[in-house]
Copies of this chain bind each other. A is one copy, B any other.
Amino acid sequence: VSASLPLAGIHAPIPTPFDADGELDLDALDRHVTRLAASPLAGLLALGSNGEAAMLTDDEGARVLERVRAAWPSTRPLLAGVGRESTRGTVRAARRAAELGADAVLVRPPSAFRSHVGPDALNAHFRAVADASPVPVLLYNLPGATGFSLTAATVEQAAGHENIAGMKETSADLERLAEFAAIRPGDFVVLSGWAPVLYPALASGAAGGILAVANVVPDQCVELYEHVRAGRHAEAAALQRRLTPLARLVTTGHGIAGLKFALDRLGGGGGHVRAPLSSVDQAARLAIAQALDPWLA
């Protein structure tokens, strides 16, 4: 799979801009995608957690995807988040995303009934989606949100499916990432979703990352990736140390509202969040603005 679809490298999980009334602001979205298209980013992820996917109707999601596809070069992969609680809902979302131009779909494990969905049921879920999806599937492990982690055994089973191309691992646990990366090196692609460990993740076998901060400083995220590919480890480690504080501010620190504020400060494309999320307060604005300054020079 990975031969035909270039998944390696740095991807940005784009936010979904809303206006002050909470309606989709597709023009702001367009501006942001256009800006990223001018960067060396490998790809985009639309409708992920950073895209407030859980806040969108299916129709809104479709409108977002159409607009992103129109603005993003067809030569670079566009991923779409399609995870749902039911297998049938996920299949439907994957098919829709493919119709709208997604090159691959990202499937988070169902978690609402996690105590009664064992390894076999998870595997059946992933395989059913992969069987039905017209485009390659990436698994999505995000234990901080779902309350459980995929095991290496589950990932290994899934990785045997010809339409499952890789996964996103969103945690700081490098032992687990390395274990996933060792399953089918070079064939089953592992992308890190945790920017503060991007360098050690790449050094440990990750093929790239899908990182909120890549919306903010795409060039530098790609630069870090290229440092590692070229064996410039000291440079990669140094850039990581600079990147981490900013990465935290737009993720664990202040969440999507922080990310959107950073984008608006850089020229637009962030927009409002939907309640119950709320805008960042004055202290957060100041902290983000100060953290951005050195990168704007």
Bound form: Cα–Cα A172–B231 in Å:
24
Q: Determine the chain B residues whose CB is within 8 A of the CB of A175 once the complex forms.
A: 172, 194, 196-197, 244
Q: Which of A157-185 contact B (CB under 8 A)?
A: 172-176, 178-179, 182
A237 to chain B, nearest CB (A): 6
Contact of A37 with B by CB under 8 A = no
State the main secondary structure of chain A at its contact with B: helix
> Does A278 interact with chain B (Cβ within 8 Å)?
yes
A121 within 8 A of B: yes
**Nearest B-chain residue to A85, judged by Cβ:** B54
Tell whether A125 pairs with B275 under 8 Å between CB atoms, given A55-B86, A112-B145, A174-B200: yes
Residues 162-219 (chain A) with a chain B CB within 8 angstroms = 172-176, 178-179, 182, 194, 196-197, 199-201, 203-205
Asked whether A63 is an interface residue with its Cβ less than 8 Å from the other chain, the reply is: no
Nearest residue (CB) in B for A58 is: B57
Closest beta carbon of chain B to A100's beta carbon, Å: 19
Nearest chain B CB to A171's CB is how many angstroms away?
8
Give the chain B neighbours of A153 by CB distance below 8 A: none
A1 in the interface, Cβ–Cβ < 8 Å?
A: no
Contact A116 to B257, CB < 8 A, known contacts A175-B172, A197-B178, A203-B233: yes
Residues B121 and A277 in contact, CB atoms below 8 Å apart = yes
Q: 1/0 per position for A1-23, CB-CB distance to B under 8 A? A: 00000000000000000000010
A286 contacts the other chain (CB 8 A): no
Chain B residues whose C-beta falls within 8 Å of the C-beta of A256 in the assembled complex: 113, 116
CB distance from A179 to the nearest CB of B (A): 8
Contact of A197 among B86, B115, B122, B174 (CB under 8 A): B174
* A240 is an interface residue with CB less than 8 A from chain B: yes
- Mark out the residues of chain A between 128 and 177 whose CB falls within 8 Å of any chain B CB in the assembled complex: 128, 144-145, 147, 172-176
By the criterion CB–CB under 8 Å, are B194 and A204 in contact?
A: no
Known contacts A88-B274, A200-B174; is-contact A205 B237 (Cβ 8 Å):
yes
Q: Contact: A172 with B176, CB < 8 Å?
A: yes
